[in-house]
Structure 1
Amino acid sequence: MQLFKNAQVYAPRYLGKKDVLLGGGKIIAIEDSIDLSANSFITVIDASGLILTPGFVDSLVHITGGGGEGGYTTRTPEMHINDAIKGGVTTMVGVLGTDAQTRSLENLLAKAYALEEQGLSVFCYTGSYHLPMVTITQSIKHDIMLIDKFIGVGEVAIADHRSSQITTHEMARLTSEARVAGMLAGKVGIVSIHVGDEPSKLDLLEQVISQFDIPITQYYPTHINRSKALLEAGIDFALKGGFIDFTTSTTVQIIAQGEVPAPEALASALDKNVPISQLTMSSDGNASLPVFDNKGNLIDLQMGLVSSLHQAMVDAVKLFNVPIELALASITESPANILRLTQKGRIAVDMDADINLLNSHSLAIEAVYSKGELVFSEGQSRLKIPF
């Protein structure tokens, strides 16, 4: 058991100075004062001057690597668990990307189970960018219903020269399959959408929603900060009731080509009165960050970092004046609620004991607890893992 004393608790809503008690991997008490003596069963942590937050929820990570747009040598490596915990990420969703030929769902699941054994909480999407959808059971419905970690489909690429140029009927069909499977399995059954930089933006989703009996909340489009034009379209989509996600991994060159930094995009959406419950940020960790010329030729390639999620939250607060409660919600409560991860994203009794301790001035990460276990402190991983 761990007892945090005198922490400034953001749940992500500010609760004030509280004591927080963890036990059995859960939060078991939050009180103004909890008086228990340190002994062999209880570790007391003085959290005076620290901010206590939920562990971060990263809704899009290429845990088995991504890339390959420049040939085999440009395939990015798998994510190491230390890359997540040093950035305060305790829950994530693993995905395939452009390459679903040399990257497989079987490997994605194996990596997810490995990360779980090492201390994280990991969920996955079946499918990938392209049609026909790759699956394990030869069926989207069966994958979502029968494989515990699959909570939806994605990322399905639209408005991108690397996509399958999917039609409205094809999108409606796969969305319906994911939705019904989610209903039957008690999961979200959401469709994660990779949005590229083609002029069509979110048009395909708008057409499907207008032509078919599919709610706007069945889609979770990401990379909405790719350009100012896409950001405007995304804000309009959100004001109609949809969810939108901003990508925190980027490069100087990509920003120079027109991408809006994720914290700035978050601030812009909030200024347009989009509810924080419909706004999230994700890292796109270990994805390739390709830059193409106007003929579609790859001219630069770097890799996304899971740690960019925390930095984007800090920048949102310090550079763009986003209230800390809202900046935190975008990487905790909002993605957890959208994905129906009911034990994640909040500091509350009976929730999973995923805890970050932040410096109250710099918002730097001082310690990370995942399911009640200390996994990161004093700038170092506390995990005992083989590699």
Structure 2
Amino acid sequence: MILIKNIEVFDPRSIGKKNILICYDKITYISQSISIPDKNFPQVEIIDGSGLKAIPGLIDLHIHINGGGGEGGFQNRTPELNLTKFTLNGVTTCIGLLGTDGITRNMGGLVAKARALQKEGITTYCWTGCYDVPTRTLTDSVRGDIVAIDKIIGVGEIAVSDHRGSHPSEEDLIHLACETRVGGLISDKCGVLHMHLGDGKKGLTPIFDLIDNSDIPFENLLPTHLNRNSLLSKQAIEYLKMGGFTDITTGIRNNGNDAMSSSQLYSTILKENISPYHVTMSSDAGGSMPFFDCKGNLTKLTIGMPSTDMDSVRESIERGLSMETALIPLTISPAKFLKFPHKGKIAEGYDADLVLLDSKLNIHTVISRGKLMVQNYKPLVYGTFEAR
């Protein structure tokens, strides 16, 4: 049991100073005052929350947990992410996926890595597939993967408008979306088709066509990387106004190019009176961040990191957004969209996933499923093969 005393709570709404009691992996009680009996009561670890802020653990729905990359050759395959890459950056729930490389990376390895991270202390799920259509699966179909494999909640990341993808036709995308949706209906999962958008000329047009020419609801579609260029950013606002849902990549920065930072696009979206609950954010951590010239030649390669999630929260607040609004795309919004009923909020009965921030919004303490993972800015729990 853990008792956090006198802490300012953002659930993500601001609800003032509270005491939070955690029992096993759940938040059991939130109150102005909680007293622990002196005798005949189980041991309780007490954390003094004075001067700290409690926020829900971050949900990152797009992370290459077992590495990615390889566009520049085998030496550019990025390494697997260790546990503390998540916990030190406040990520307590993540969804792993494959990307460009569905050959040297595979679904078996992805699910195994997800199970390893879950065993080490955070909550994990997976998207099945990779860039290609037909895509890679563990069973004979994406529907089979979603229904039969507990970790798999949908399909992704399927490449659209990208020279590295397989250029799926409208019929391909409709069929894949239908398979994904039905798999979700059978298994009571979100059944989402998660699509990578590249720098191709068509932008979001294939998704608009999918909506116009099928009966797939917006709730089963999630395009991502929409802040990578001005065309996609403009189309994203149009798509949101139609009722769609979009994911913004915190790892994409505005470095004097055509891209927008996540906080910049998010602020622009909110000025259009679009609900923040139709927007999620994710880091694309673990994947390579390649840069190509106009001829498609690789010019630069970097790696995404989960730290960009909290960077985006801080930057959104610097832009004048409230703490609640800044947190929504990384907490309650993905929890609702992905059908995680006990995630994304600090409330009684919810999973005990909390991040405690200091006055500068640096991560002081992380609790994942009721277990202290980080305290006083240092890891308490390491991955199996991490150096202490």
Superposition TM-score, scaled by structure 2 size: 0.97
Alignment-mate amino acid for residue 340 of structure 2: L
Aligned residue in 1 for 2:329 = 330
**1:164-188 Cα distance to aligned partner (Å, 9 max, x none):** 1111001000100000010000000
C-alpha distance 213-385 of structure 1, shift in aligned 2 (>3 A): closer
User: Is contact 2:288–2:301 with CA below 8 Å preserved after alignment?
Assistant: yes
Aligned residue in 1 for 2:264 = 264
Alignment-mate amino acid for residue 6 of structure 1: N
User: Is contact 2:366–2:373 with CA below 8 Å preserved after alignment?
Assistant: yes
Aligned residue in 1 for 2:380 = 382
> How many angstroms apart in 2 are the aligned matches of 1:233 and 1:298?
26
User: Is contact 1:217–1:241 with CA below 8 Å preserved after alignment?
Assistant: no
Per-residue deviation, 1:197: 1.1
Alignment-mate amino acid for residue 159 of structure 1: S
Per-residue deviation, 1:229: 2.1
Per-residue deviation, 1:384: 4.6
Report runs of 4+ in structure 1 exceeding 4 Å deviation: 37-40
Aligned residue in 2 for 1:129 = 131
Aligned to 1:15, the other structure's residue is in SS state strand
> How many angstroms apart in 1 are the aligned matches of 2:163 and 2:240?
25
Aligned to 1:53, the other structure's residue is in SS state strand
User: Is contact 2:174–2:214 with CA below 8 Å preserved after alignment?
Assistant: yes
> How many angstroms apart in 2 are the aligned matches of 1:70 and 1:378?
39
> How many angstroms apart in 1 are the aligned matches of 2:20 and 2:376?
21
> How many angstroms apart in 2 are the aligned matches of 1:250 and 1:80?
22
> How many angstroms apart in 1 are the aligned matches of 2:199 and 2:13?
35
**1:49-91 Cα distance to aligned partner (Å, 9 max, x none):** 1111110000100001111111111111111111110100000
User: Is contact 1:119–1:371 with CA below 8 Å preserved after alignment?
Assistant: yes
> How many angstroms apart in 2 are the aligned matches of 1:300 and 1:377?
36
Aligned length: 383
Per-residue deviation, 1:257: 2.3
User: Is contact 1:353–1:372 with CA below 8 Å preserved after alignment?
Assistant: yes
Alignment-mate amino acid for residue 204 of structure 2: L
Alignment-mate amino acid for residue 259 of structure 1: A
User: Does residue 11 in structure 1 map to residue 32 in structure 2?
Assistant: no
State how 1:192-341 maps to structure 2 within 5 Å. Answer: 192-250=194-252, 255-318=255-318, 320-341=319-340
Aligned to 1:330, the other structure's residue is in SS state helix
> How many angstroms apart in 1 are the aligned matches of 2:136 and 2:384?
31
Superposition TM-score, scaled by structure 1 size: 0.97
User: Is contact 2:195–2:224 with CA below 8 Å preserved after alignment?
Assistant: yes
User: Is contact 2:83–2:382 with CA below 8 Å preserved after alignment?
Assistant: no
C-alpha distance 18-288 of structure 1, shift in aligned 2 (>3 A): same
Per-residue deviation, 1:385: 3.8
Aligned residue in 2 for 1:107 = 109
Alignment-mate amino acid for residue 231 of structure 2: A
User: Is contact 1:54–1:354 with CA below 8 Å preserved after alignment?
Assistant: yes
- Specify every segment of 5 or more residues in structure 1 that has no aligned partner in the other structure, as ranges: none
**1:81-117 Cα distance to aligned partner (Å, 9 max, x none):** 1111010000000000000000000000000000000
**1:147-200 Cα distance to aligned partner (Å, 9 max, x none):** 000000000110111111111001000100000010000000001110011121
> How many angstroms apart in 1 are the aligned matches of 2:121 and 2:169?
40
> How many angstroms apart in 2 are the aligned matches of 1:103 and 1:237?
32
- Percent identity between the aligned chains? 39
- Specify every segment of 5 or more residues in structure 2 that has no aligned partner in the other structure, as ranges: none
